[in-house]
Amino acid sequence: VDLYNVFWTHHCNVILSPEGGGNTPTMYLFTCLIPPMEGVSVCSTTAFHSLPLFVSLSLQDQHGARSQRSQEADKPHRRKGEKTYSCDECGKEFTLAGHLKQHQIIHSGVKAYSCDLCGKSFTLAQTLKTHQLTHSGVKPYSCEFCGKSFTLAGHLKTHQLIHSGFKPYSCEFCGKSFTQAGGLKTHQLIHSGVKPYSCDLCGKSFTQAGGLKTHQLIHSGVKAYSCDLCGKSFTQAGDLKRHQIIHSGVKPYSCELCGKSFTLAGHLETHQLIHSGFKPYSCEFCGKSFTQAGGLKTHQVIHSGVKPYSCELCGKSFTQAGGLKTHQLIHSGVKPYSCDLCGKSFTQAGDLKRHQIIHSNKDERTHMEVNFSCDKCDKSFRNLSSYSEHKRSHAVNKLFHCYQCAKTFTSLSALCKHQPDHAGLKSLDVNRKIVLSSQYSLSMI
């Protein structure tokens, strides 16, 4: 068979369209010659000699390229799925050189792609594109177990690992387990003790940038998430969600030692430290010990003497916001805690608990009264605070003087109670309290 004639006769309408008026086909047209000739044995010397020179060369080149690809495929480092390209910075491995090159941009620190809506920057254009789906608000992927929705299918897949209960990644320091390797890696930063991210406003440090970002919402004062039941506001949606469990009244987590129940597992875990008796955090000023670092930190505010939280109604100040909040219940007149035995009401549960001791059996009451008996007048008291206040009445030196009537008192609180007796005076001036307290302190030195 005349291969030359068969070739040209079959494709005369395709390759003989000259460009620029010439008679020679272009290289683009050469590649169009190859598919129809796949039936021809390109390894045949006769076949190549029977074709025009440029066609023969084209077929030889293609045959050589196929042979080279076949040889490359036989090499061990080209096996499918094998990761032969490693990052010198972090050791991460890749199957393709292109993926390694793309990954190395992360270590450069260059983030050339920024989101127009929130300003967040990314190293890759594709990552920015994926991020922008978040702002769309569309979450088409829902979890069939809990109903939670996600913007990306990958996020849903990652989330579903939680429901599996399978946590193959464990921390070698504390034994805590995780569903993903990334979760373990993030957790291990805690044990390193390194906190490179610090808040410019209060100096608090964090192991992760996300922790700092979440913390900074506190300083912004913005609390966009409010509880429909009590009106309490939160900076984050997660905090609101945890808070709302309180209103459900469900407390599924119970302490095996004392039976106390909790809404959240974390609260139970914190509570159980009390029963351990282990208090590793001690105050350097007074030696008082605490089970948690947070308890020590809260306590140390007392030694600072700073009381930034003041009551608008009576001027009393407190070191913590919680103390002020508890105090304000007194002015509200609300006493939700009532004694079942005598009907007496209290503003706080702790006050009711202390009161109920009175209703204990006679022997216990007698024992308590004997413990707090005045040696001056034989008067007895059920608690130390009442006993201490009474003891001051026997004091010879009465250091607090009323500037209206010159009457003297053994305590500042007694003077404050006396002041409203004078017409036109609602209470002792706050500045006067400070002066008197200072004078008292100097006299005791």
- The per-residue b/e assignment along 297-313, b for 16 or more CB within 10 angstroms, e otherwise, is eebbeeeeeeeebeeee
| pLDDT score at 143 | 92
Determine contact, residues 285/303, Cβ cutoff 8 Å.
Answer: yes
Burial zone of 431 (CB within 10 Å; 0-12 exposed, 13-18 middle, 19+ buried): exposed
Determine contact, residues 207/187, Cβ cutoff 8 Å.
Answer: no
Determine contact, residues 177/167, Cβ cutoff 8 Å.
Answer: yes
**pTM greater than the 0.75 cutoff:** no
280-313: per-residue pLDDT in tens? 889 998 888 998 888 898 888 888 888 888 999 8
CA angle 435, 439, 440 (to 5 degrees): 115
| pLDDT score at 142 | 92
| pLDDT score at 346 | 87
396-422: per-residue pLDDT in tens? 665 676 767 767 776 677 777 777 777
Determine contact, residues 153/139, Cβ cutoff 8 Å.
Answer: no
Beta-carbon neighbour count of residue 82 at 10 Å?
11
d(C-alpha 329, C-alpha 345), whole Å: 13
Residue ranges of E strands in 189-338: 197-198, 205-206, 225-226, 233-234, 253-254, 261-262, 281-282, 289-290, 309-310, 317-318, 337-338
| pLDDT score at 103 | 87
| pLDDT score at 134 | 86
| pLDDT score at 374 | 80
| pLDDT score at 115 | 92
d(C-alpha 189, C-alpha 215), whole Å: 18
| pLDDT score at 56 | 39
In the predicted model, residues of the chain with pLDDT beneath 50 are: 1-63, 65-66, 69-73, 76-77, 362-370, 425-445
Alpha-carbon separation of residue 326 from 97, 231, 311 (angstroms): 64, 18, 11
| pLDDT score at 186 | 87
**Residue 230, phi then psi, degrees to nearest 5:** -125, -5
Structural domains in the chain, sorted by start: 307-361 (3.30.160.60)
Residue 143 is encoded by which pair of tokens? Answer: 């979890």
- DSSP tag of 333: T
d(C-alpha 68, C-alpha 64), whole Å: 6
Determine contact, residues 125/114, Cβ cutoff 8 Å.
Answer: no
